[in-house]
Homo-oligomer: A and B are copies of this chain.
Amino acid sequence: MVTIKDVAKASGYSVSTVSYALNDSDNIPQVTKDKIWAVAKKLKYYPNAAARNLKNKSTNNIGFFISGFTGPVYHKIYDGVASVINNSKYHLILSFSQNAKRMIRERQIDAAIIMCPQVEDSVIEHANRLGMPVFVLDRLDNGDEHTYSHMLDSYTGAKLATQQLVDEGHQTIAYLSGIVGSFVDDERYRAFHDVISSNGSIQEKVYFGNFTESSGYELVQQLQGTLPFEAIFCANDEMAIGFIKGCMEYGISVPEDISVIGFDNVDISQYINGGLTTIDVDQGKWGSEVAQDLLDVLDGKHVDKQKVCPVQLHLRNTTKKRAS
């Protein structure tokens, strides 16, 4: 491996001068820099990251931790984050939740973005003790000094979805829950309930799912294809998709027999039943805002500790006015 020593020897300068030149220090005249750069290039010298990181106490790497890639996850967020980070001096590194603990503790990264529930709070607290900024996505902030939280506006989204079903004139409206107790599900149910309650005559039904496609599918099976409601708001798209698949098997027409709304506007939702009505999030924008805030924090700027990401109703082909 060629080290800075080799460049020093070959160029006739000292190690310090080579280091200064290569890091573009003001104290080195351009001619010297040119000579040293030429030698470095000829020798194909590249600094050893471990040595540099050890000395600098920083890595210029930003860790982005996720659960996995299969399933309709939020790919556009990654690209939104990446587009911003890639234009900075930092480098984006993705890894799975189980690596977060190690990479944070061992200081392999300067900051983290965490988008998976699997990372324990204790890990985030450890990062905070190290002074490492952590951005948590769609997860409640723990109040730590260096922790920031960007969340989808689940409440508003669920309100829009439910209101749409109410406006369509359905009399009995169901909610298919995600994992009960999760922040996201709590918010979505709360909004659903609030809207239904403020419309006296409408009946509310609640079923329990777990955010997976199969839990949506299974609901139709459990009901044996006889749906005691005219519309359903599923706490996410995957369940809505499963639910619609179930309907197909029982010959239930969407949206003629039943209106279905999801949440998230995942990639595949446009292909479901000619388009799933859902709550849309500008994921790319969400990601780039997170990334920009993160860069600002690393830059010593002040940034809001909590942000909410706006959502909107995206009407497509799975909801319909009730034929009265």
- A residues with a Cβ closer than 8 A to B are 1, 44, 46-54, 59, 61, 68-70, 72, 75-76, 78-79, 82, 86, 91-96, 98-99, 102-103, 105-108, 126, 129-130, 267-268, 271-272
Would you list 24 pairs from A and B whose C-beta atoms are within 8 A, ordered by A residue? Answer: A1-B107, A44-B129, A46-B105, A48-B107, A49-B50, A49-B103, A49-B106, A49-B108, A50-B51, A50-B59, A51-B54, A54-B54, A68-B82, A69-B75, A69-B78, A69-B82, A91-B95, A92-B95, A93-B95, A94-B94, A94-B95, A267-B267, A268-B268, A268-B271
What copy number does this chain have within its complex? Answer: 2
Known: A1-B130, A50-B53. Contact between A68 and B59, CB under 8 A? no
Residues of B with C-beta under 8 A to A61: 108
Residues B106 and A48 in contact, CB atoms below 8 Å apart: yes
Residues of B with C-beta under 8 A to A50: 49-51, 53-54, 59, 107
Residues B106 and A96 in contact, CB atoms below 8 Å apart: no
Residues A82 and B108 in contact, CB atoms below 8 Å apart: no
Residues B69 and A79 in contact, CB atoms below 8 Å apart: yes
Residues B96 and A86 in contact, CB atoms below 8 Å apart: yes
Q: In whole Å, how far is A275's beta carbon from the nearest beta carbon of chain B?
A: 11
Query: How far is B63's CA from A95's CA once the two chains are assembled, in angstroms?
Result: 10
